[in-house]
Amino acid sequence: MTAGTKNFTPRMVLATIAALLFGAQWLFGEPPLWLFAAPMNLLAGVLWLAVIYEGYRRRTTSKAVQYLLSAEATYMALAIVAIVAVVLGLQSEPASTSWPVVGALLFAQTVLSLVILRGWRNERGVRWRFLIIHFGLWLALMSALLGASDKQVLRVQVGSEPTREALNEQGEKHFLDYELRLENFVMEHSESGAPERFCATVAVDDKVVDIEVNSPYTVNFGEDIYLVSYTAEGCVLQIVRDPWQVVTTIGIAILLLGAFVLFMKGFQNRER
Amino acid sequence: MTGWNIFPFFAVATIVLAVVASVLALYKRRTAALTLSLLAVGVLTLFVAMLWTSLERPPMRTMGETRLWYSLFLLVAGVATYARWRFRWVLSFSTLLSTVFMVINCVRPELHDKTLMPALQSAWFMPHVAVYMFSYALLGVATIMAIYYLVKRDEKVLPAIDNLLGGGLALFTVGMLTGALWAKQAWGEFWSWDAKEAWAAATWFIYLGAIHLRLMRPKGVQKFCILLIVAFLSLQMCWYGVNYLPSAEKSVHSYNRNN
């Protein structure tokens, strides 16, 4: 195989996929994330990883896998994600769940998965520095990708009357399985008049809790209540349901450990 | 009263210790430089502890308190980087920045009572910002050395560039991830592709590209150095450039407007 075809073909495939993704966005709008709510995301995730693992096993014969494991694919994945980030950074309403963005992240995650499978150990044993950094990023990205469909953000206008009625981002009504009632709302100002502290005292069913900015209340596993705003009648609470947040946090913690290792050890001593 | 009124004494003691340490570091008196730097950190920490006790709350609510933490974290980051990477200039840099914040706190006592908006009152705030400032400094020096390499083709600077990039990107990662954890606590989302976050991600991935290029193609030094410059330009966008973008109008990071 000549160098020309080796570089040309995978790029053509990627460009075609990109064109299809932009076409899909133009034709159908946002991808149907709701289709992948649990348990579909788990199923799709397992299937995806199975395909990656099977592909990895066939790396000696499969040209596609060889490409995905090549240095060029790593540069490509990093470049594509960087470009996606720049484009999102220029949009005032970032299209972060559009087909091209999801496609770019899936591609990067596929490359990352294969690279981890190949590189997590060598003949001298486990490559801890490599593994911690790459696996931390992998876990955080995986939970963000698979968890996106399970995430729910609801807003509730809370006043002195108990309420269960919440609105999602599209303005559709949802009913909570607990009642919220505002007991008290405190707004403290400094001498200059700038707001210093907001605190909503809220009854969640019969339990009375304080909710402040930067101090949400965890009502259930993966479900937190945030104070976002106040009105003449009371305040606005935001309920975030994200059952995957624990996984994301673990991924971030591992990546933080990886950053510490990178700081201590640097990256120039090649392990391979 | 063990509050702000005694701060100037602690500030002067800290600055003197840190300046002497910086000079010693320049003359390669490593042990003495490290000892005095740690003493400087100790003196400032003592003041933070006393202020904390006298206020009977964590000192994280006013502009003055924020600047106090900046000066402390900058010193800590400086000592850590010097202890690990032995750059002779690094203590001078951290001392200079830290001194600026301490002097501001001495000459503008009205800041001690200027309250932060509630969104910023978080334990994540100071490490998030201080770590970023320090990573910008390391990556900035790496960029200057990359330009130097492109002009002079001097291979001797490459190990220093590697170290600065490793340390700088590690701190940048810490800044980004503490930001994500804080965002989860404040708004409920780890990442929302707000303009500043998006540019931080772009910058991070370009630096990752540079590291991977360096590891996988040790001979591609020219591309590596060019990539470092591109990454640093992206960093400028992330740092202050986004403020001039229309996409930042709704940014959750625009704290310096409207108030």
- Tens of pLDDT along A184-237? 999 888 777 778 889 999 999 989 999 999 999 999 999 999 999 888 888 999
Cβ separation B173–A262 shorter than 8 A? yes
The single-letter code of the amino acid at B148 is Y
A131 in the same domain as A18: yes
Q: Tell me: the pLDDT tens digits for B66-106? A: 889 889 988 998 898 899 888 888 899 899 989 999 999 99
Q: What is the pLDDT of residue A136?
A: 98
Q: Tell me: the pLDDT tens digits for A10-27? A: 889 999 999 999 999 999
Residue B255: pLDDT band with limits 50, 70, 90: low
Q: What is the pLDDT of residue B257?
A: 42
Give the side-chain half-sphere CA count within 13 A for B215.
20
Closest C-alpha among A15, A10, A108 to residue A66: A10
A215 in the same domain as A258: no
Q: Quick one: DSSP state of residue A180?
A: E
Q: Tell me: the pLDDT tens digits for A238-258? A: 999 999 999 999 999 999 999
A173 in the same domain as A115: no
A163 in the same domain as A45: no
A16 in the same domain as A65: yes
Q: What is the pLDDT of residue B1?
A: 54
**Which residues in chain B touch residue A190, judged by CB atoms under 8 angstroms apart?**
113-115
Residue B254: pLDDT band with limits 50, 70, 90: low
Check pLDDT > 80 for residue A9: yes
Q: Is the dihedral of CA B48, B49, B55, B56 positive or negative?
A: positive
Q: What is the pLDDT of residue B165?
A: 95
Q: What is the pLDDT of residue B258?
A: 38
CA distance A31 to B9: 61
Q: Tell me: the pLDDT tens digits for B209-239? A: 999 999 999 889 999 999 999 999 999 999 8
For residue A186, give Cα distances in angstroms to A195, A199, A227, A229, B123: 11, 5, 12, 12, 22
Q: What is the pLDDT of residue A6?
A: 53
Q: What is the pLDDT of residue A269?
A: 52
**Which residues in chain A touch residue B117, judged by CB atoms under 8 angstroms apart?**
194-195
Q: Is the dihedral of CA B159, B161, B162, B168 positive or negative?
A: positive
Check pLDDT > 60 for residue B256: no
Cβ separation A89–B247 shorter than 8 A? yes
Cβ separation B121–A75 shorter than 8 A? no
More confident position, B52 or A255: A255
**Which residues in chain A touch residue B211, judged by CB atoms under 8 angstroms apart?**
267
Q: What is the mean pLDDT of chain A?
A: 91
Q: Are B120 and B259 in contact (CB under 8 A)?
A: no
Q: Tell me: the pLDDT tens digits for A72-109? A: 999 999 999 999 999 999 998 899 999 999 999 999 99
Q: Is the dihedral of CA B226, B228, B232, B238 positive or negative?
A: positive
A197 in the same domain as A168: yes
Give the side-chain half-sphere CA count within 13 A for A207.
9
Task: Provide, for chain B, the percentages of residues in helix, strand and coil under a 3-state DSSP scheme, each rounded to the nearest 5.
Answer: 80, 0, 20
Q: Are A47 and A120 in contact (CB under 8 A)?
A: no
Q: What is the pLDDT of residue A123?
A: 92
Residue A268: pLDDT band with limits 50, 70, 90: low
Give the gap in angstroms from C-alpha A252 to the nearest C-alpha of chain B: 7
Check pLDDT > 60 for residue A70: yes
Cβ separation A249–B184 shorter than 8 A? yes
- A residues 169-208 lying closer than 8 A (beta carbon) to B: 190-192, 194-198
**Which residues in chain A touch residue B163, judged by CB atoms under 8 angstroms apart?**
266, 268
Average pLDDT over residues B43-53: 94
The predicted model scores a pTM of 0.88
Give the gap in angstroms from C-alpha A212 to the nearest C-alpha of chain B: 9
Q: Tell me: the pLDDT tens digits for A33-43? A: 889 999 999 99
Give the gap in angstroms from C-alpha B71 to the nearest C-alpha of chain A: 21
From edge to edge, which strands make up the β-sheet containing A217-220?
A207-212, A195-204, A173-189, A163-168, A152-158, A235-241, A223-230, A217-220
Q: For chain A, what is the domain count?
A: 2
- Among chain A residues, the shortest Cα distance to B200 is held by A85
Closest C-alpha among A213, A106, A88 to residue B197: A88
Residue B248: pLDDT band with limits 50, 70, 90: confident
Q: Tell me: the pLDDT tens digits for B130-170? A: 888 889 888 988 998 899 999 999 898 899 899 999 999 99
Do the strands A152-158 and A125-126 form a parallel or antiparallel pair, or are they unpaired? Answer: unpaired
Cβ separation A196–B170 shorter than 8 A? no
When scoring B216, B238, B250 by the number of chain A Cβ atoms within 10 A, the one with the most, hence best to mutate, is B216
Q: What is the pLDDT of residue A8?
A: 61
Q: Percent of chain A, pLDDT > 90?
A: 80
A71 in the same domain as A9: yes
More confident position, B258 or B112: B112
CA distance A266 to A220: 41
Average pLDDT over residues B165-186: 96
A vs B, Cβ pairs < 8 A, gives 157
A203 in the same domain as A95: no
A124 in the same domain as A214: no
A226 in the same domain as A106: no
Residue A272: pLDDT band with limits 50, 70, 90: very low
Q: What are phi and psi of A211, to 5 degrees?
A: -120, 125
Cβ separation A94–B193 shorter than 8 A? yes
- Among chain B residues, the shortest Cα distance to A258 is held by B170
**Which residues in chain B touch residue A69, judged by CB atoms under 8 angstroms apart?**
none
Give the gap in angstroms from C-alpha B203 to the nearest C-alpha of chain A: 7
Indicate the residue of B174, B190, B198 with minimum beta-carbon distance to A259. Answer: B174
Which residue in this structure is represented by tokens 């006790």? B53
Give the gap in angstroms from C-alpha A249 to the nearest C-alpha of chain B: 8
- A residues 79-118 lying closer than 8 A (beta carbon) to B: 79, 81-83, 85-86, 88-92, 94, 96
- Cβ contacts of A264 within 8 Å, gap of 6 or more: B84
Give the gap in angstroms from C-alpha B127 to the nearest C-alpha of chain A: 13
Indicate the residue of B163, B177, B249 with minimum beta-carbon distance to A266. Answer: B163
Cβ separation B212–A266 shorter than 8 A? no
**Which residues in chain A touch residue B199, judged by CB atoms under 8 angstroms apart?**
85-86, 89
CA distance A157 to A167: 9
Closest C-alpha among B190, B230, B194, B191 to residue B210: B230
Cβ separation B198–A85 shorter than 8 A? yes
Q: What is the CATH number of the domain that holds A224?
A: 2.60.98
Check pLDDT > 90 for residue A262: yes
Check pLDDT > 60 for residue A137: yes
CA distance B30 to B51: 32
CA distance A256 to A173: 39
**Which residues in chain B touch residue A256, judged by CB atoms under 8 angstroms apart?**
173-174, 177-178
Query: Which residues form the domain of A8?
Result: 3-151+244-271
A132 in the same domain as A10: yes
Cβ separation B217–A153 shorter than 8 A? no
Q: What is the mean pLDDT of chain B?
A: 90
Average pLDDT over residues B42-46: 97
CA distance A117 to A258: 18
**Which residues in chain B touch residue A267, judged by CB atoms under 8 angstroms apart?**
162, 165-166, 211, 214-215
Q: Hey, which residues does A167 pair with through a beta bridge?
A: A155, A173
Q: Percent of chain B, pLDDT > 70?
A: 96
Indicate the residue of B118, B166, B194 with minimum beta-carbon distance to A195. Answer: B118
Cβ separation A262–B170 shorter than 8 A? yes
